[in-house]
Amino acid sequence: MAKSATEFGATGRRKTASAHVRIKAGEGKILVNDRAFTNFFPVETQRTFIEQPLKAIDGLGKFDLTVSITGGGPMGQAGAMRHGIARALLLVDAGYRDKLKKGGFLTRDSRMKERLKPGQPGARKRFQFSKR
């Protein structure tokens, strides 16, 4: 999935969101769907959540990221991007594996929304029981 020897790509997923991350050495620019990182994720907690893998390896400001995100909501997209960044960093240098694994950044969060069951108002909710 890499374009050249200096650019590496990986895919991260969370819920129904999917993030395709391309990483290369640079000065810390992050583009998400051709928009600035701070514009795409205006909430500070989401931005710090996404930057955790970079902080774990002291790589904040050392890599340029170009990300394409589809599906999901804001938090699902943030989780997918975080997972994609961690997987791309592994391709950059396999020595980062211990720090990324210890932080839990390489594990895909497999929790999904439970499906709606037929004849019920929700996934778990039941209609009120009536004896008579």
Q: What is the pTM of this model?
A: 0.89
Domain range for 63: 7-103
Do 92 and 8 form a contact (C-beta atoms < 8 A)? yes
50 located within any domain: yes
At residue 132, the pLDDT reads: 86
20 located within any domain: yes
Burial 31-54 (b: 16+ CB within 10 A, else e): ebeeeebeebbeeeebeeebbbbb
DSSP strands (E only) in 17-119: 17-25, 30-32, 35-36, 63-70
The continuous run of DSSP H or E covering 71 comes out as none
| Tens-place pLDDT, residues 4-55 | 568 999 999 999 999 999 999 999 999 999 999 999 999 999 999 999 999 9
124 located within any domain: no
47 located within any domain: yes
129 located within any domain: no
Supply 79's token pair: 């989780």
Looking only at the bridges linking them, the beta strands covering 63-70 and 17-25 are antiparallel
| Tens-place pLDDT, residues 45-101 | 999 999 999 999 999 999 999 999 999 999 999 999 999 999 999 999 999 999 999
98 located within any domain: yes
Residue 1 has pLDDT above 80, yes or no: no
**CATH number of the domain encompassing residue 55:** 3.30.230.10
At residue 61, the pLDDT reads: 92
DSSP 38: H
**Domain count across the chain:** 1
At residue 97, the pLDDT reads: 96
89 located within any domain: yes
Angle at 112 between CA 94 and CA 104, to 5 degrees: 25
Do 65 and 25 form a contact (C-beta atoms < 8 A)? no
Amino acid (one-letter) located at 16: T
130 located within any domain: no
At residue 3, the pLDDT reads: 58
At residue 45, the pLDDT reads: 96
